[in-house]
């Protein structure tokens, strides 16, 4: 049998046996070789059992580690399940189409559970949609009027309103006063402002348009414009001027850039560009704003998009869309 000495197992020898077992005087008992082998085998078996127990303890520790890992996986799954999901509806300014589309596309790429929709109805309609609760975020290319109370406008960008003429026009530069005179009918022939002897055809936007409101606010022509055509989108205005060599119109800088068939004239010697809009030297400009309803909490999805669109991270995207970021 094995014995313990200083916490170690040692074989039970024949000497130990002689001391432990009573015997006749002068007689010693020798352990046979086979018996010795059996005892050693028993001792080794005991030693292996102790080692196995220690190993089990180690394995139990490993089991705890696996449980922790499983718990971590469960936590990761839970975090995934709480990812913000939903649909964000935006409604309003057609001039903001490039800006809102560029922001929405990148945002949805980064937030797979959220869909952003855009309904290009015009600033006035978008503002009304926020008021009556039919959209999450309104889009306006003008400041809110005093009568549009209970709403908050957050500026995300600035936009120059380009004064456009047909590409074949000789006119390159107009003052704000000349532009006002043309649109109110005081100036009716291009020869009076340096062009050919042709009757001027004024193209503008419909009532409620943010572009029109911005243009008329700066030129002080509200309710005074005499238009040959009153159109419902920025694209339609550009197209009309492209197809009429006598035409003049106004459109968002971001929409005019890259368009063939039209050109933007200088205003009081200043080109319409991002730099001149940002530094304020270009006179005819307006804000691009997100409109929300006071006292109404946005959904988690809408709030996340709102925060994204108004952050400095959106600046490069706004610039890419042709507008001037304010951050």
Beta-strand pair 114-119/86-92: parallel
pTM: 0.62
pLDDT band at 25 (very low <50, low <70, confident <90, very high): very low
Residue 208: the pLDDT is 85
CB neighbour class for 4 (10 Å; exposed up to 12, middle 13-18, buried from 19): exposed
Distance CA 291, CA 91 (A): 10
**Model confidence over 260-270: pLDDT tens digits?**
999 999 999 99
Q: Does residue 76 have a pLDDT over 80?
A: no
Phi, psi of 114 (to 5 degrees): -120, 135
Going from N- to C-terminal start, the domains of the chain cover 3-78, 86-158+290-325, 159-278
Distance CA 325, CA 327 (A): 6
HSE-CB at 112 with a 13 A cutoff on CA atoms is 4
Query: What is 86-158+290-325's CATH number?
Result: 3.40.190.10
Does this chain's domain 86-158+290-325 share its CATH topology with 159-278? Answer: yes
Pair 150, 311: CB distance under 8 Å:
no
| The three-state (H, E, C) secondary structure of 62-131, written as one string | HHHHHHHHHHHHHHHHHHHHCCCCEEEEEEECCCCHHHHHHHHHHHHHHCCCEEEEEECCCHHHHHHHHH
**Model confidence over 145-192: pLDDT tens digits?**
999 999 999 999 998 999 999 999 999 999 999 999 999 999 999 999
Residue 26: the pLDDT is 44
Entry field: residues in the chain: 327
The CATH architecture of the domain made up of 159-278 is: 3-Layer(aba) Sandwich (3.40)
């Amino acid at each position: 049998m094995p014995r313990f000495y200083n916490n170690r197992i040692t074989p039970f020898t024949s000497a130990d046996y002689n001391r432990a077992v009573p015997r006749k005087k002068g007689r010693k008992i020798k352990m046979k070789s086979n018996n010795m082998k059996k005892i050693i085998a028993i001792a080794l078996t005991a030693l292996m059992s102790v080692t196995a127990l220690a190993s089990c303890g180690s394995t139990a520790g490993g089991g705890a580690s696996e449980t922790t890992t499983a718990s971590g996986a469960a936590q990761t799954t839970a975090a995934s399940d709480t990812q913000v999901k939903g649909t964000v509806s935006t409604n309003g300014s057609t001039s903001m189409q490039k800006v809102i589309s560029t922001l929405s596309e990148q945002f949805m790429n980064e937030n797979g559970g959220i869909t952003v929709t855009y309904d290009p109805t015009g600033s006035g309609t978008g503002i009304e949609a926020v008021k009556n609760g039919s959209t999450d975020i309104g889009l306006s290319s003008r400041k809110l009027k005093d009568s549009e109370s209970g709403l908050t406008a957050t500026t995300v960008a600035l936009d120059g309103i380009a004064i456009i003429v047909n590409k074949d026009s000789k006119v390159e530069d107009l003052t704000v006063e000349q532009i006002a005179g043309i649109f109110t009918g005081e100036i009716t022939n291009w020869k009076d402002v340096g062009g050919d002897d042709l009757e001027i055809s004024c193209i503008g936007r419909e009532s409620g348009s943010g572009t029109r409101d911005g243009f008329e606010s700066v030129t002080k022509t509200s309710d005074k414009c005499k238009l040959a055509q009153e159109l419902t989108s920025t694209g339609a205005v550009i197209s009309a001027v492209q197809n009429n060599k006598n035409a003049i119109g106004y459109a968002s800088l971001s929409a005019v850039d890259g368009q063939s068939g039209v050109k933007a004239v200088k205003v009081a010697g200043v080109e319409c560009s991002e730099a001149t809009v940002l530094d304020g030297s270009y006179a005819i400009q307006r804000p691009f704003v997100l409109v929300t309803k006071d006292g109404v909490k946005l959904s988690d999805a809408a709030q996340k998009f709102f925060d994204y669109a108004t952050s400095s991270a959106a600046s490069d995207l706004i610039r890419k869309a042709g507008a001037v970021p304010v951050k």
